[in-house]
Amino acid sequence: MTRRAIAFAFLAFFPLLSTAQSLPLKAKPDAPDGPPFVSAKAWIAVDGATGKVLGGDSQAEARPMASTSKIMTAWIVLKLAADDAKVFDETITYSERAAKTVGSSAKLNAGEKVSVRELLYGLLLPSGNDAAVAFAEHFGSRFGKDADGEPLLRFVNEMNRRAKELGLKEMSYRDPNGLSPQNVSSVRDLATLAREALKDEAFRKYVSTRHYEGSITDSGGNKRKAVWTNTNKLLDIEGYEGVKTGTTTPAGNCLVASCKRGEDRVIVVVLGSTSADGRYIDARNLFRWAWHEKASGK
């Protein structure tokens, strides 16, 4: 081979050599054990009875939580009903603001009336952003005071007060439904709140309901039905108890889920899964691993 041919061959190889040398080093090999790989940016699995953390990733990172915010909204209303059962029968009249709330909806119109008992299904099954506003407007005046006396803001203040009372350091609310990207929580705080809420029999009933027909009274006094279907696809599988889904662009796809086997319960929270179906795959994989961890006594 002539010197010129050798030079051309070297120049042709040199870019490939440079590219190879610039590649990052390979990561360590995957371990043969440990929790499954998931798409979620943060997750946790806890024992529902003891609160023991079975495993997690980015457990204390505050992230947008989307409609999982409604766990707190519902829990506050149910706390009031636990103190006075007549709360369930109170009538909520939808305001213009509630009716015009964007996103997932219970689909009531301004001026329509619904009982608290019924609207809790509209809040927790179709994830009604409008229902959350209606609850905050209806109940907010019963909580504390702020500068302008706005009931919705008082309700949000109560949500934050309750979070602080439970020691939830990464949880913070700016609205009752999760539309605000400033509604943030860590997965561990959401797991703690879910575990607390699941102690309430009424909460368990609502979040585990797959389908419900609500009774609405329109502004003319006529009755109509509202059909609400639970957004949580895990309820199609035996053992799962629901809790709450959540989806916004800042939050990604979120899920707080509970599963029972006999008297044992595991709670899984995933925040920031890459797709709507991906959050269920993430959760099912984590539940399977968590049950194994519990069985092995780890």
Q: Is residue 104 part of a domain?
A: yes
CB count within 10 Å of CB 144 equals 12
Q: What is the pLDDT at residue 295?
A: 82
CATH number at residue 248: 3.40.710.10
Q: Is residue 26 part of a domain?
A: no
Q: Is residue 14 part of a domain?
A: no
Domain of 251? 37-296
Q: Is residue 6 part of a domain?
A: no
**Distance, CA of 285 to CA of 283 (rounded, Å):** 5
Q: Is residue 143 part of a domain?
A: yes
pLDDT for 156-183, tens place per residue?
999 999 999 999 999 999 999 999 999 9
pLDDT for 264-287, tens place per residue?
999 999 999 999 999 999 999 999
Global pTM reads 0.90
Q: What is the pLDDT at residue 15?
A: 54
How many domains would you assign to the chain? 1
Q: What is the pLDDT at residue 12?
A: 54
Q: Is residue 20 part of a domain?
A: no
**Distance, CA of 82 to CA of 75 (rounded, Å):** 10
Query: Was 244 annotated as part of a binding site?
Result: yes
> Can you tell me whether residue 227 is helix, strand or coil?
strand
Q: Is residue 8 part of a domain?
A: no
Show which residues are catalytic.
67, 70, 127
**CA angle at residue 210 from 205 to 213, to 5 degrees?**
90
Q: Is residue 56 part of a domain?
A: yes
> Can you tell me whether residue 253 is helix, strand or coil?
strand
